[in-house]
């Protein structure tokens, strides 16, 4: 651990924040813990989405489908007598399987055509969930009584967020991440060098949708009630995309920054009766500003500021190794 | 010439149709192991289309491509690379946001060799030094000159560990000194045991390097043989200079 920190000093704030999240229940109020839970939830969604959307450049607007699959799996199985914990891997597996079924046809499309197709998939799943009897139709489903344990759910979401960050960071540093980066930059060149692009995209899709589905399961436990309007909502899909874009797509810190900013805004705005429905509006404004001035998001702006600052010491040597293979 | 002789690539009756255009019309030839084999022809003759059909960028409409006795038709590009046949792109396709070293690493990690760890790093360094890009290893590919980008195309393809290297106009846009350098590189690659299949417009390079060549015109093979003979073939002269008009040399 200390060795890792010495090699990557940039990890220090992350480690401190992780420690804060894990220790918070010892001193923080319930309201603050709720906010932190919410932040961790959005960190999972944004970071997992970024694996496919940011690193591989496949911008999907259908991720609420995976939140919903995870949430519905948990509620349905819990009502059948399962422990909510055991439902999480089932939801993850179902979401991963569904991501492959969706990915096989849609990954044949490129750029905006892929994105448009994923909107269709997300909406189709919402309409189906609203129409089916066993999903409770548009009125939704309730968790069975006695399944709520705030502390356990808080820790589960925080641990999931940390594991998601660790997994995505690990993948990014290895061959898989380099392959995704190659696909994003030039898919034809990537294939010409032997990158199996469709398989890599399917794998990234499956991993990220499984993580998102686990978050969806914990969402269901936390709120004890779900409906197509809450977990299959297109606005949720949009939120999942906006966080990494505003924070900085294809970076590790970008989606986290976007998620923290978004959950903070949402909490503040929801508390205000005048502004409660305007958070997407404000976020849209932020999106426009980011797109106009720095396509790499807040992280890109920050890096430019750092570069502007007069240097006190010599720049790092050119031979600095950025990525270990 | 390397010790192991014999044909490594057999192209038979390969055709490619794009809608109403027959881009390749039943093209056949064989490449021997250790050869430098050129594909030449005027613009639009179907040379790059031929390369795309060989490596599986898209499938040929008809015909067969056999590499070391194995049928390649129906395999995806990445599967063909894994078997040891790789191509470069005439219009260079660098990963611009990646360092030169990471560009090459993609080929090392994913090609035929699929090396990891220290072996992968060694291979990256070796390929960079063979293609004289070592000093640019940590530069972003987006800032390279055209000569360096052409070498990066070769370096990435070489990194995959091919047996046959298909070079699509790697000398286009280079100055005379860079062309000399590129010719020396192609010769060195062949001498290291590779078989080279190359599309080239530069006549001096083609004549100086090729053991044999085929000439394509409007998708058809119009000549084949040693450069000295094939380049003098009346059909080839007509294809390049026109039948009756006396247009300027390309």
Is A319's pLDDT higher than 50? no
Q: Which residues of A touch B120 (CB under 8 A)?
A: 325
Is A201's pLDDT higher than 80? yes
Distance from the Cα of A199 to chain B's closest Cα (Å) equals 11
Put simply, the answer to whether A191 touches B87 (Cβ < 8 Å) is no
Is A71's pLDDT higher than 80? yes
Nearest CA in chain A to B81: A194
* A84-106 vs A112-131: helix crossing angle, rounded to 10: 130
Entry field: residues in chain A: 325
Residue B163 DSSP symbol: S
Is A325's pLDDT higher than 70? no
Q: What is the pLDDT of residue A321?
A: 46
Put simply, the answer to whether A189 touches B78 (Cβ < 8 Å) is no
Residues 6+ apart with CB under 8 A from B26: B13, B14, B15, B62, B63, B220
Q: What is the pLDDT of residue B3?
A: 40
Strand B195-199 and strand B164-168: pairing?
parallel
Is A10's pLDDT higher than 90? no
List the 4-33 stretch of B: residues with Cβ below 8 A of A. none
Q: What is the pLDDT of residue B244?
A: 56
Q: How many contacts (CB atoms, under 8 Å) link A and B?
A: 91
A303 touches chain B (CB under 8 A): no
pLDDT digits (tens, 9 = 90+) for B184-242: 999 999 999 999 999 998 888 899 999 999 999 999 999 999 998 888 888 888 888 77
Strand B164-168 and strand B62-67: pairing?
unpaired
Is B2's pLDDT higher than 50? no
Q: What is the pLDDT of residue A125?
A: 93
pLDDT digits (tens, 9 = 90+) for A217-238: 999 999 999 999 889 988 889 8
Nearest CA in chain A to B87: A192
Mean model confidence pLDDT for chain B: 91
Nearest CA in chain B to A180: B106
Distance from the Cα of B53 to chain A's closest Cα (Å) equals 12
Put simply, the answer to whether B95 touches A322 (Cβ < 8 Å) is no
Of A193, A196, A318, the CB nearest to B138: A318
Question: What percent of chain A stands above pLDDT 70?
Answer: 94
pLDDT digits (tens, 9 = 90+) for B94-124: 999 999 999 999 999 999 999 998 999 999 9
The most confident of A15-19, A281-285, B52-56, by mean pLDDT: B52-56
The span from the CA of A33 to the CA of A50, in Å, is 25
Put simply, the answer to whether A192 touches B102 (Cβ < 8 Å) is no
Q: What is the pLDDT of residue A303?
A: 85
Break chain B down into helix, strand, coil percent, rounded to 5: 40, 25, 35
Put simply, the answer to whether A192 touches B77 (Cβ < 8 Å) is yes
Q: What is the pLDDT of residue A267?
A: 80
Is B150's pLDDT higher than 90? yes
Q: What is the pLDDT of residue A2?
A: 67
pTM for this entry: 0.89
Q: What is the pLDDT of residue A324?
A: 44
Put simply, the answer to whether B89 touches A196 (Cβ < 8 Å) is no
B87 touches chain A (CB under 8 A): yes
- For an interface test with B, which of A192, A201, A303, A316 has the most B Cβ atoms less than 10 Å from its Cβ? A192
pLDDT digits (tens, 9 = 90+) for A275-298: 777 766 777 787 788 878 887 888
Distance from the Cα of A198 to chain B's closest Cα (Å) equals 10
Q: CB count, 10 Å around CB of A134?
A: 9
Residues 6+ apart with CB under 8 A from B60: B14, B15, B16, B24, B53, B73
Is A322's pLDDT higher than 80? no
The span from the CA of B44 to the CA of B216, in Å, is 9
Is A314's pLDDT higher than 60? no
Mean model confidence pLDDT for chain A: 89
The span from the CA of B51 to the CA of B42, in Å, is 15
Q: What is the mean pLDDT of residues B137-166?
A: 95
The span from the CA of A179 to the CA of A174, in Å, is 9
Put simply, the answer to whether A189 touches B109 (Cβ < 8 Å) is no
The most confident of A26-30, A304-308, B3-7, B53-57, by mean pLDDT: B53-57
Put simply, the answer to whether B78 touches A186 (Cβ < 8 Å) is no
Put simply, the answer to whether A182 touches B106 (Cβ < 8 Å) is yes
């Amino acid at each position: 651990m200390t060795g890792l920190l010495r090699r990557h000093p940039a990890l220090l704030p992350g480690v401190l924040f992780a420690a804060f999240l894990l220790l918070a229940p010892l001193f923080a109020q319930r309201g603050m813990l709720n906010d932190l839970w919410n932040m961790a939830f959005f960190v999972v969604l944004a970071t997992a989405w970024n694996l496919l959307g940011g690193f591989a450049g496949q911008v999907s607007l259908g991720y609420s489908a995976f939140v919903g699959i995870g949430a519905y799996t948990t509620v349905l199985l819990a009502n059948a007598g399962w422990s909510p914990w055991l439902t999480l891997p089932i939801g993850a597996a179902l979401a991963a399987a569904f991501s492959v079924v969706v990915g096989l046809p849609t990954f044949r499309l490129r750029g905006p055509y892929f994105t448009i197709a994923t909107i269709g998939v997300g909406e189709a799943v919402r309409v189906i969930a609203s129409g089916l009897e066993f999903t409770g139709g548009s009125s939704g489903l309730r968790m069975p009584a006695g399944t709520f344990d705030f502390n356990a759910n808080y820790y589960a979401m925080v641990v999931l967020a940390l594991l998601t960050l660790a997994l995505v960071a690990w993948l990014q540093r290895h061959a898989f991440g380099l392959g995704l980066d190659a696909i994003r930059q030039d898919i034809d060149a990537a294939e010409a060098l032997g990158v199996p692009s469709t398989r890599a995209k399917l794998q990234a899709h499956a991993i990220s949708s499984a993580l998102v589905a686990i978050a969806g399961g914990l969402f269901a436990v936390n709120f004890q009630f779900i409906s197509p309007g809450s977990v299959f909502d297109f606005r949720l899909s949009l939120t999942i995309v906006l966080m990494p874009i505003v924070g900085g797509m294809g970076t590790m810190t970008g989606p986290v920054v976007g998620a923290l900013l978004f959950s903070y805004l949402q909490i503040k705005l929801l508390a205000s009766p005048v502004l409660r429905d305007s958070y997407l509006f404000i976020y849209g404004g932020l999106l426009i500003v980011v797109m106009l001035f720095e396509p790499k998001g807040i992280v890109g702006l920050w890096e430019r500021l750092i570069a502007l600052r007069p240097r006190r010491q010599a720049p790092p040597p050119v031979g600095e190794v950025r990525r270990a293979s | 010439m390397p010790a192991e002789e014999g044909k490594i690539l057999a192209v038979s009756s390969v055709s490619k149709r794009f809608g109403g255009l027959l881009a390749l019309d039943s093209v056949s030839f064989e490449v021997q192991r250790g050869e430098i084999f050129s594909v030449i022809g005027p613009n639009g003759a179907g040379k790059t289309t031929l390369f795309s059909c060989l490596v599986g960028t898209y499938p040929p409409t008809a015909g067969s491509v056999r590499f070391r006795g194995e049928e390649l038709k129906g395999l995806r590009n990445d599967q063909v690379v894994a078997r040891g046949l790789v191509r470069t792109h005439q219009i260079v396709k660098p990963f611009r946001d990646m360092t030169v070293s990471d560009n090459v690493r993609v080929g090392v990690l994913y090609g035929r060799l699929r090396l990891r760890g220290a072996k992968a790093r060694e291979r990256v360094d070796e390929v960079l030094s063979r293609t004289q890009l070592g000093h640019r290893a940590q530069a972003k590919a987006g800032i390279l000159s055209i000569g360096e980008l052409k070498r990066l195309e070769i370096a990435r393809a070489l990194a995959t560990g091919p047996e046959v290297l298909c070079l699509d106009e790697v000398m286009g846009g280079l100055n005379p000194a860079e062309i000399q350098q590129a010719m020396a590189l192609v010769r060195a690659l062949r001498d290291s045991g590779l078989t080279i299949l190359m599309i080239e417009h530069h006549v001096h390079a083609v004549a100086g390097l090729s053991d044999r060549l085929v000439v394509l015109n409007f998708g058809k093979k119009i000549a084949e043989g040693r450069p000295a003979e094939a380049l003098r073939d009346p059909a080839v002269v007509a294809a390049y200079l026109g039948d009756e008009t006396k247009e300027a040399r390309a």
